[in-house]
Amino acid sequence: MSKIIIGRYIPGDSIIYKMDPRGKLLVAILFIFIIFLANNWLTYGIIALFAILAVAATKLKAKIFWDGVKPLIWLIFFTSVLQLFFTTGGTIYWKWWIFTLSSFGIANAIFICIRFTLIILISTVMTVTTMPLEIADAMEWILKPLKLIRVPVDKIALVMSIALRFVPTLFDQTLKIMNAQRSRGADFNDGGLIKRSKAIAPLLVPLFISSLETAVDLSTAMEARGYRGSKGRSHYRVLRWSKVDLVNLFYLVSLTALLIIFRTH
């Protein structure tokens, strides 16, 4: 359970922990776009170096990052192999039916491997060094411009914080309901397709009913404490930019500049 409550956050004390979650989230999002500027060996080398520097700056064990890559390793491998044979161009070494092995294919497969790994590494740095609550606050900040097109960002923020608060509770409840049904002979992992699909209802309906009850109770409690919509309220949890975030910004800008200079045009 404790694993679920804190998510993937691992406490630590390095420069990345002191950064504002908004800055980290922006870098994690933009990194995926920046990686597209890389199109030759030199630029891939530069971006890999930057990612490794970011990983090293967390001062966490390498195993944590390996755990992030591990579940996807077969997907990465399989995808690279498919790309290896479907990319054509350059010197052709071998050809059979629709499969071709070419110099472009080999380079492309390796690039895709690197791209996958780097994107996973950077988002692991993000989730491992930032608490879920902080990430949610940062997401709320990023959504703010949607106010201009009259999207109710405050309501969305409320839904976000309620969902975040209740994920551990509901997870706990789901396991309890499963065990309670099991103690009366319910089987969630056996039988044919229809039997298994039917077994989901005894899990879902109690969960749904308890959510309905919680919603009624919580809305009554919030109204009793003076909640009358999100307008005109103040914020208790506030994010603050600091000098460390300049490092983060500098990282992103210099990486982009280097990639633009050295990429093949």
Partner 1 sequence: MSIKKWFEIDLRELILLGLIVAMKVVLEQFSFGPATVKVGLGFIGSVLLAYLFGPIWGAVGGGISDLIASAIFGQQGGFFIGFTLTAMVAPFIYGLFFYQQPVKIWRIIVATLLVDLIVNIGMNTMWIHIMYGLDLKAALIQRAPKEIIVPWIQMIVVYFVLQSVSRVKIKK
Q: Enumerate residues 19-78 that contact partner 1 by CB under 8 A.
A: 25, 28-29, 31-32, 36, 68, 71-72, 78
Comparing CA positions, the residue from 191, 188, 190, 192 lying closest to residue 202 is 188
Min CB(243)–partner 1 separation in Å: 25
Min CB(3)–partner 1 separation in Å: 10
| Interaction of residue 223 with partner 1, rule CB under 8 A | yes
| Interaction of residue 144 with partner 1, rule CB under 8 A | no
Taking a C-beta distance cutoff of 8 angstroms, is the pair 100, 84 a contact?
no
3-class DSSP state of 237: coil
Residue in 53, 56, 73, 204 binding partner 1, rule: CB under 8 A: 204
Separation between Cα atoms, residue 181 and residue 188, nearest integer Å: 9
Please report where in the chains the tokens 């870098």 appear, as a residue: 27
Tell me the residue type at 54.
Answer: A
| Interaction of residue 14 with partner 1, rule CB under 8 A | no
Residue in 41, 77, 86, 93 binding partner 1, rule: CB under 8 A: 86
Min CB(236)–partner 1 separation in Å: 19
Q: Could you tell me which stretch among 12-20, 200-208, 233-241, 249-257 binds partner 1 (CB under 8 A)?
A: 200-208
Comparing CA positions, the residue from 26, 11, 9 lying closest to residue 248 is 26
Q: Which own/partner pairs from 156-165 qualify as long-range (CB within 8 Å, at least 24 positions apart)?
A: 157/230, 158/230, 160/136, 161/136, 162/218, 164/132, 164/133, 164/136
Residue in 19, 120, 177, 258 binding partner 1, rule: CB under 8 A: 120
| Interaction of residue 149 with partner 1, rule CB under 8 A | yes
Separation between Cα atoms, residue 42 and residue 112, nearest integer Å: 15
Residue in 64, 119, 247, 249 binding partner 1, rule: CB under 8 A: 119
* Window 226-265: residues binding partner 1 (CB under 8 A): 227, 229
Min CB(210)–partner 1 separation in Å: 9
Min CB(263)–partner 1 separation in Å: 14
Min CB(198)–partner 1 separation in Å: 5
| Interaction of residue 7 with partner 1, rule CB under 8 A | yes
| Interaction of residue 219 with partner 1, rule CB under 8 A | yes
226 token code pair: 């003076």
Separation between Cα atoms, residue 173 and residue 222, nearest integer Å: 23
Taking a C-beta distance cutoff of 8 angstroms, is the pair 87, 102 a contact?
yes
